[in-house]
Amino acid sequence: MTAVAGQTVELPIGGMDCAECARTVRDAIARTPGVQTVEVLLASEKAVVRYDPAVVAPLAIQTAIESAGYRVAATRDGSIPAGEPSAARVAETGFVRPVLALFGVVFALVLIAVVGGEWFGLFAIATARVPWPVGAAIVAALGFPVFRNVARAARRGKIISHTMMTLGVVAALAVGQWPTAALVAVFMRAGDFAERFTTERSRQALRRLTTIAPATARVERDGREIEIPVAEVRRGEVVVVRPGERIPVDGVVTAGQATIDQAAITGESMPAEAAPGSPVYAATIATLGSLRVRAEKVGADTTFGRVVRLVEEAETHRADVQRIGDRFAALYLPVVAAIAALTLLLRRDPLAMAAVLVVACSCSFALATPIAMLASVGAAAQRGILVKGGKYLETLARVDLLLIDKTGTLTLGRPRITDVVPLGDLAASDLLAIAAASERDSEHPLAAAVRAAAAERGIVVGTVEAFAAAPGGGVRAVVGGREIAVGNRRWLGLMGDDPQAAALEAAGKSTLVVIRDGAAIGLLAAADPVRPEVPAALASLRALGIGRIELLTGDNPRAAAALADPLGIPYRAGLLPEDKIAAVREAQARGLVVAMVGDGVNDAPALAQADVGIAMGAAGSDVAIEAAHVALLRDDWRLVPEAFAIARRTMRVVRGNIAFTAVYNVAGLALAAFGFLPPIFAAAAQSLPDIGILANSSRLLRSRD
């Protein structure tokens, strides 16, 4: 069967304030014929829809959204703004805060009115003096937006959280208690405002990301500089960046020098120096200099664009605990209806039944997990940790075994000269100068290490009069009229029983022998050193309770032991990529939850197989971004225990949210059913769990430096 080709459209949606709103929009779009897949992202306020253009047009999808009671905020060209939120959205954010502050005052005044009305009989006076039809009209006006959404849901055969409260309003009106119904309507609106505030807070981290990308770029065209929208920059064009400006594209510096603040991408506070040939990333800031940058990636294809997209899409990878919460909320409302019916049947008290319906609120169950997950994903992204979804946070919090790749992950990924051993009267600096001159034209990594060692010591490298490289062996050269050879012992056939060479190799180092005019004049040893922050990071992981840590490497056992033994971790050596996958599967077969840390290139299959794959240094690496479930935007091992700590904090908050919501709702239902919680106080009580969830989840937004 041939798959039907589809097109994808992103639609910005206004009016979504809660998880239930997102589900309503998703259901409305999914029912449209021709829609293949749909993802509704509450945090970024948009829907990503894949559809068959031969069956349905985007206008029909927009109509489905509007029929569900929400609006599509179309941009000028019908696309999604790539860099920063629309002016309307920014204005809305600025508007919400003073409105919510005013709401707090009104909320307090209404509570005073409720207490005063109950104690001093004001509600009874209002009921007696205001005709019932007028009171019903007041109730309808106060709760109109809520009642409209309930009616729309009912037409689609759905029950939403406000359905129960609306029935409570109807029950209060039916027994002539229109002041009670009016205050219930007010508190329903108050609950909506509280949930809106909760959702707004969860969006802040994403907004901080999306608003820092520059909207325009200065490019060189036809011999002059012009300023154009970033989306119109073409690959290969030269972009001019002046001091203090944000770089608008990913690219390579062609001219100029500057200090780059890369915190927006890597989370690293220390600036980096950029010069011709240096890679730079969009949304980073050039300070103390200007640059000319050849554009290689633009817009959504830049590293920054991928960061924003991953944070947005993280909402679609929901944690299992979130799915449980959704299922519980779906079952909760019928249970509440049954409790309300039993209350009326057994107690013959319509007001108690109304109180049961009013106090029941499934919104808090729906919010308990996603608000915490969104807060953590956004906050982690700002610290240089990309998590592709809530389910990976949940899994990361349950990891039993951490597997680690060696080269480029646990180590720096490039060899360095660790030992310079002259033989005879030759000085170490002279030996290094001879070797560096001989390796001057070699492209081998060990040759680069020799040249780097000479440069670090300020050694001036002489010229080479003749040069020849032997792949897998070494080099032969003529330096200062003398024949020099630098290579491994096997190629040179020398020093087979030398104790110094044997000791260096036993320590896992690569040994080079330097020969001059046929005689050995010294040894050079190279190793790929462990990242300096690794020992402290491993100690932090063990303190978090991750005691099973194992090294996987393709190196020989001697090199693996030299690295792993000082760190106190077991190892498996001589592994091919398929062997690493087998190691992951073997651990999973034993029932362990496995995390794998790799460089995202040769380890990509194992990263994908692991329950959680963590890619080191993912900035600019497409393979790492795609293969891993968590991507670290800088090569800093301190981010690994931080990712685990964030995951565990998140799950503690989620469990706290769920426990608080469950206890609160059970207590509220019991008090209402037995007549201890009048409908008015039930209405006030139902809006409080959202505020509690917000207060608990907002702890995840705070830095833990």
Residue 486 to residue 476: CA distance in whole angstroms: 7
Contact 367, 201 (CB under 8 A): no
Close Cβ partners of 65 (under 8 Å, ≥ 6 residues apart): 11, 13, 25, 28, 29, 47, 71, 72
Rounded to an integer, what distance in angstroms lies between the CA atom of residue 638 and that of residue 626? 22
Query: Pick the catalytic residue: 17, 192, 405, 555?
Result: 405
Q: 352 near 675, Cβ under 8 Å?
A: yes
CB atoms under 10 Å from CB of 455, counted, come to 12
Q: Are 298 and 261 in contact (CB under 8 A)?
A: no
Contact in structure between 173 and 139 (CB atoms under 8 Å): yes
Reduced to 3 states (helix: H, G, I; strand: E, B; else coil), residue 434 is helix
Q: At what angle do helices 178-210 and 87-120 cross, to 10 degrees?
A: 150
CA pair distance 622, 632, nearest whole angstrom? 13
Give yes or no: 405 in active site. yes
d(CA 297, CA 282): 9
576: exposed, middle or buried (Cβ count in 10 Å: 0-12, 13-18, 19+): exposed
In the block, residue with structure tokens 């013959």: 348
Q: What would the DSSP string read from start to end of 684-699?
A: HHHTHHHHHHHHHHGG
d(CA 166, CA 152): 13
Residues for the chain: how many in total? 705
Residue 374 tokens read as: 């969104």
DSSP 177: -
Just list the catalytic residues. Answer: 405
